Structure 1
Amino acid sequence: MKRICSVYHSSKKAGMYLYVLRADALKRVPEALLELFGAPKHAFDLVLTPTRTLVREDIIQVLKNLDTQGYHLQMPPPEDDYLVHWPEELLRRNDAM
């Protein structure tokens, strides 16, 4: 099973990507998802096969989603905890200064 795919990145959320079949373009993507995604910006096209490796996604799941729903949404990676939650000792040290 080989699929020619177009990948778009979100104009609203860094790291969010939308995979679609190039022949269908964005026709099968629900309007509600496009509203949340923002204006899709074409990033690149690629050929997907079950043996191809993707860095952050399971290729089998991507191919299944393309066949069943017409798109695959790649969410951004979670933010690192250290950016959100400062250690208590560091906060106390900064308050003392």
Structure 2
Amino acid sequence: MTILYLVAANESEADEIAASLLEQKLIACAKKFETKSIFRWQGEIKKASEVILLLETEDRLFDEIEKEIAKVHSHKTFVLASIPTDKVSRGVKEWLEEELKQP
């Protein structure tokens, strides 16, 4: 199992991305968290309300997921980071195998 960390501009964008990835069986689950960000952008310090998505998937689907997100994400440069997991319970492993697109 791999957890992908994605930052969306707002809740509706997060919902649209999650629904698209779920429909295509690229992720098995998405968890949403509203957050406030402070960051540097184009030489200035900015603040924004954003939504963090934690996407449950497998590493082999990363490239396809990134392409799909790029189709709908409002930012040309978006944060998508992979967080690999060393171990996962047997039930979760079986669930991922059932729910995700197979090679």
Give the TM-score of the pair, scaled to structure 1.
Answer: 0.35
Flag the structure with higher strand content.
2
* Structure ID, larger Rg: 1
Give the TM-score of the pair, scaled to structure 2.
Answer: 0.34
